[in-house]
């Protein structure tokens, strides 16, 4: 069986949460944070290593809250996503205040990841099903040398991923009849409505969406050769910034969608009916805490987890 690694993207600033380090907020009845549940589910599924993508300034607090505890359960590595981690010949543009997005986050793993790997957000709870399905895919994915990349993505039902407290960004997926992804469209401002879901526009108008649509929640399964692709793509991205240099982001959904359009990847969507939840807004905290309390009371998780 192939070795597999879980990469957790935890370098986000979390501005919508009020400026704090939301990834380190306690949610479980035993003081657990969301990442505790993700790592627990990943280990149950069979992942053998965890790589945390953080900012250097977070390291001491991060290790104190989660790292040292995790290090007793699984091999752990830390990599740093920094705004100035740029290829030779490039510098940080004037006015830039944050790193370059999820594509750069995975590129930061280039010295730490050499095996098939999954990628998740630090502040999202995905449920057990997705970890099992992605791990099973990665342990059976063909090796390098194929004409196309072979990747996977956990797909979640849109209605199961919405916040009660405001709009969210989701990657809306279009599939062919074989569960192969043909298009992913990053869509902002998706809100919960009485009829299901809709995109809320700047003028307040709504465009209805099918609440049963599968969406990307940044839970991916990649082969290690993808990191080389990210490196080449980041050079192209930086070279074409122009007037967007202060705010442009190098994002996984956009990168994957480009590979799909170029017919350079076969990407299998692995549907999950588990209910996603996470902390997009501070007002989400009581709901998430209640959800973990119910999962623990129902025997889904022990407390403490580790």
DSSP letters spanning 194-262? TTEEEEEPTTS-EEEE-TT-EEEEEEEEE-TTHHHHHHHHHHHHHHT-GGGTTT----HHHHHHHHHHT
Predicted pLDDT of residue 236: 95
Strand partners for 251: none
> 304 in a domain, yes or no?
no
**Out of 98-102, 117-121, 189-193, 274-278, which region has the weakest mean confidence (pLDDT)?**
274-278
Domain assignment present for residue 76? The answer is: yes
pLDDT band of residue 172 (cuts 50, 70, 90) is very high
User: Is 143 a residue whose pLDDT tops 90?
Assistant: no
Widest CA span of the chain, in angstroms? Answer: 55
Q: pLDDT-based confidence at 1, cuts 50/70/90?
A: low
Residue at 306 is within a domain: no
Record the tokens describing residue 291, joined without a space: 């959800």
User: How would residue 66 be classed by pLDDT, with cut points 50, 70 and 90?
Assistant: confident
Q: Does residue 46 fall inside a structural domain?
A: yes
What confidence tier does 2 reach under pLDDT thresholds 50, 70, 90?
Answer: confident
**pLDDT (tens digit per residue) in 210-257:** 999 999 999 999 999 999 999 999 999 999 988 889 999 999 988 998
Q: With contact defined as beta carbons under 8 Å apart, do 268 and 155 qualify?
A: no
Spatial CA neighbour of 119 closest among 242, 249, 10? 10
What pLDDT band is residue 15 in, cutting at 50, 70 and 90?
A: very low
Does 303 reside within a domain? no
pLDDT band with cut points at 50, 70 and 90 for residue 285: confident
pLDDT at 17 over 50: no
Domain span at residue 263 reads: 5-297
To the nearest whole number, what is the mean pLDDT of the chain? Answer: 89
Q: What is the pLDDT of residue 24?
A: 65
Percentage of residues in the chain having pLDDT higher than 90: 64
**How many domains is the chain partitioned into structurally?**
1
302 domain-assigned: no
Residue 13 has pLDDT above 70, yes or no: no
CATH of the domain at 254: 3.90.550.10
């Amino acid at each position: 069986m192939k070795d597999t690694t879980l990469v957790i993207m935890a370098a986000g600033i979390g501005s919508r949460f009020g400026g704090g380090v939301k990834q380190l907020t306690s949610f479980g009845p035993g003081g657990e944070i969301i990442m505790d549940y993700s790592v627990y589910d990943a280990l149950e599924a069979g992942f053998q290593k965890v790589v945390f993508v953080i900012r250097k300034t977070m390291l001491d607090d991060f290790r104190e809250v989660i790292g040292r505890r995790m290090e007793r359960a699984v091999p752990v590595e830390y990599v740093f996503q920094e705004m100035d981690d740029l290829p030779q010949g490039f510098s940080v543009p004037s006015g830039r205040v944050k790193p370059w997005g999820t594509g750069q986050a995975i590129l930061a793993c280039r010295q730490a990841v050499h095996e098939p790997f999954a990628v998740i957000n630090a502040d999202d709870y995905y449920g057990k099903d997705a970890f099992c399905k992605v791990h099973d895919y990665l342990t059976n994915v063909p090796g390098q040398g194929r004409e196309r990349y072979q990747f996977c993505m956990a797909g979640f039902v849109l209605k199961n991923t919405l916040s009660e407290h405001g709009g969210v960004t989701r990657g809306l997926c279009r599939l062919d009849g074989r569960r192969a992804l043909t298009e992913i469209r990053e869509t902002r401002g998706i809100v919960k409505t009485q009829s299901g879901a809709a995109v809320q526009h700047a003028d307040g108008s709504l465009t209805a969406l099918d609440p049963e649509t599968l969406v990307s929640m940044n839970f991916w399964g990649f082969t290690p050769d993808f990191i080389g692709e990210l490196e080449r793509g980041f050079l192209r991205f930086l070279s074409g910034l122009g007037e967007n240099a202060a705010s442009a982001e190098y994002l996984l959904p956009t990168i994957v969608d480009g590979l799909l359009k170029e017919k350079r990847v076969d990407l299998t969507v692995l549907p999950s009916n588990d209910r996603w939840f996470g902390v997009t807004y501070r007002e989400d905290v009581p709901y998430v805490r209640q959800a973990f309390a119910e999962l623990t009371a129902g025997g889904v998780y022990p407390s403490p987890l580790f």
